[in-house]
Amino acid sequence: VMMAATNVKLAAAQAAFVRVMMMVCPLVLISCSVAFGVVVPVITAVAATFVTTQVGVAVIVSKNILVGVVTQVSDRTSQAELVISSQVKVNAEVSSSGVRGIVQGEHGLGLLFDLVSQDEVLNIGDMVVTSGLGGQFPKNLLIGEVSEIISGGPELFQKANIKPATNLRHNKLVFIIKK
């Protein structure tokens, strides 16, 4: 009986915290478990009944780090694909120089910064953030850091491998940005 009362109090406190978070900032706190498929890595997030979201919104962790995008919504759960999925494409830019391109997942193995003009200068260590172009993701969500530059001589565009800003396999709490 004592344990049940404690669990009820804890649940009420968590629900109150989520309500406060919804009033203070445009984020909804949810808990999640991460399951990695062979091709498409996904997050399944469980939320309280009063939490509403929609397909296509950004999923982040603390410090405004982009980890995925919501792909399915039901009454009490949302499913999101991680940014390392080949199905996710993000308009991005280097935070210090404004160099723009597209970040996309490489079949759950990593991130590629693609469609960057050969005229632009990329450096290892450059921080890559969302550009806000297209309206799907807000500007300045951190994606990761340039770890390797791939530029071929006659090719029109250069590419870079991006090291994600967080370990995507160990996140326990995520935020869904409400539109």
Written as one string, the DSSP assignment of 26-56 is SEEEEEEEEEE-SS-EEEEEE--TT----TT
The answer to whether the beta carbons of residues 6 and 19 sit under 8 Å apart is no
* SS3 state at 80: strand
Tokens linked to 177? 């940005």
Other CB atoms closer than 10 Å to residue 76's CB: what's the count? 11
Lowest-pLDDT range of 1-5, 53-57, 124-128:
1-5
pLDDT number for residue 51: 54
Q: Is the pLDDT of residue 179 over 80?
A: no
Q: Is the pLDDT of residue 49 over 50?
A: no
Q: What is the pLDDT of residues 34-43, one digit of tens each?
A: 444 433 456 6
In sequence order, the 6+-apart residues with CB closer than 8 A to the CB of 9 are none
Q: What is the pLDDT of residues 99-147, one digit of tens each?
A: 999 999 988 788 999 999 998 999 999 999 999 999 889 999 999 999 9
Q: What is the pLDDT of residues 62-86, one digit of tens each?
A: 889 999 998 888 777 778 888 998 8
Question: Percent of the chain, pLDDT > 70?
Answer: 70
Nearest to 136 by CA among 72, 90, 176: 90
Lowest-pLDDT range of 9-13, 92-96, 153-157, 172-176:
9-13
The answer to whether the beta carbons of residues 175 and 96 sit under 8 Å apart is no
